[in-house]
Homo-oligomer: A and B are copies of this chain.
């Protein structure tokens, strides 16, 4: 039986002070069995994104330790940055990668959320698949007003009551959103035209918001230096709407406009299953699983 592997992508409200960022990352790396995939600091956003993988217990422990360290080192009373934010540790999503269900990731979010609330005395909101009410599914709704706005009405507005932790504010660490979600695939398709209205029309046709494919977000852009346009997509559930389905939908819409696809790109990481599904679709493989991938046997 293959190991359970979970990804976690916590975001912290510090993107400038290297010593603070190093201390937070060191907490994550201190847990045995953790593989850090990436850490991206943005000085304008004043924000640090860390992505790491491991088995569930290790991933939960690393999330808690990093949140604890961030609460010690980051003061939300002094924090400024372009990206919306509400806490020293802003968000902690748990993401199923191998042999783990979304329900299990929801469970991990509850366990870590409760521990952050109980032990660190930071109010915690559960979001996305871990949300206990529809009003908290969307992170933007949970974070509305940002740190200052939530602080102003935290004691008085019942809709701000946290899912875990105290109903009294933390002095400096703000609020943390803990959740569970699918891996996100950033997938861009370039079109052989300089007419951005075509990219915008295709984006509209394929995105969920306007009646297109479920779990697809899409925008049309001009790539001026290449003289082409791009349909830029986020696939937020690659099992329900696989990459190939999004690609074929863009291709079909492009054909309506008499436009060719020149190339596409996957930005960042992709789960193995997405390649298994893409290969199975195009090669018409009748029964093909990730267990047949040689390298996958090394992480069992």
Please tell me which one of the listed residues B53, B264, B293 contacts residue A283 in the complex, with CB atoms under 8 A apart.
Answer: B264
Contact A98–B266 (Cβ < 8 Å): no
A259 interface hit (Cβ, 8 Å): no
A287→B188 CA distance, assembly (Å): 12
Copies of the chain in the assembly:
2
**How many angstroms between the C-alpha atoms of A243 and B35 in the bound complex?**
32
Among candidates B97, B247, B283, B285, residue contacting A295 with C-beta atoms closer than 8 Å = B97
- Tell me how far the C-beta of A92 lies from the nearest C-beta in chain B, rounded to whole angstroms: 18
**Which residues of chain A from 159 to 211 have any CB-CB distance to chain B below 8 Å in the complex?**
183
Point out the residues of chain B lying under 8 angstroms from A285, CB to CB. 263-266
**Cα(A183)–Cα(B295), bound, Å:** 12
A270 at the interface (CB under 8 A from B): yes
In the complex, A225 has a CB within 8 A of chain B = no
Within 8 A of B (CB), among A260-300: 261-266, 268-272, 274-276, 278-279, 282-288, 292-300
Across the interface, which residues of B come within 8 angstroms of A262, CB to CB? 284
Known: A35-B298, A299-B299. A264 touches B293 (CB 8 A): no
Question: A154 at interface (Cβ–Cβ under 8 A)?
Answer: no
A5 interfacial contact with B, CB 8 Å: yes
Query: Chain A 138-173 against B: per-residue CB contact (8 Å), 1 yes, 0 no?
Result: 000000000000000000000000000000000000
Q: A37 on the interface (CB 8 Å rule)?
A: yes
- Interface flag for A7 (CB, 8 Å): yes
Contact yes or no, B264 A294, CB < 8 A: no
Contact of B247 with A283 in the complex, beta carbons under 8 Å: yes
Q: Which residues of B contact A266 (CB under 8 A)?
A: 283, 285, 288, 292
Residues of B within 8 A of A283 (CB): 243-244, 247, 264, 266, 278
Contacts of A272 in B (CB 8 A): 272, 275, 293-296
Contact B270 A293 (CB under 8 A): yes
A284 pairs with B298, CB closer than 8 A: no
| A263 touches which of B97, B271, B284, B297 (Cβ 8 Å) | B284
Beyond A270-B294, A295-B295, 11 additional contacts (C-beta under 8 Å) are: A264-B286, A265-B287, A265-B288, A269-B292, A270-B293, A271-B294, A272-B295, A274-B279, A275-B275, A278-B279, A295-B299
16 cross-chain CB contacts under 8 A = A5-B295, A35-B297, A53-B294, A98-B295, A183-B294, A247-B283, A263-B286, A264-B283, A264-B285, A265-B287, A269-B297, A272-B272, A275-B275, A278-B278, A278-B279, A278-B282
| 7 closest residue pairs by CB, A with B | A263-B286, A275-B275, A282-B282, A278-B279, A272-B295, A298-B299, A275-B279
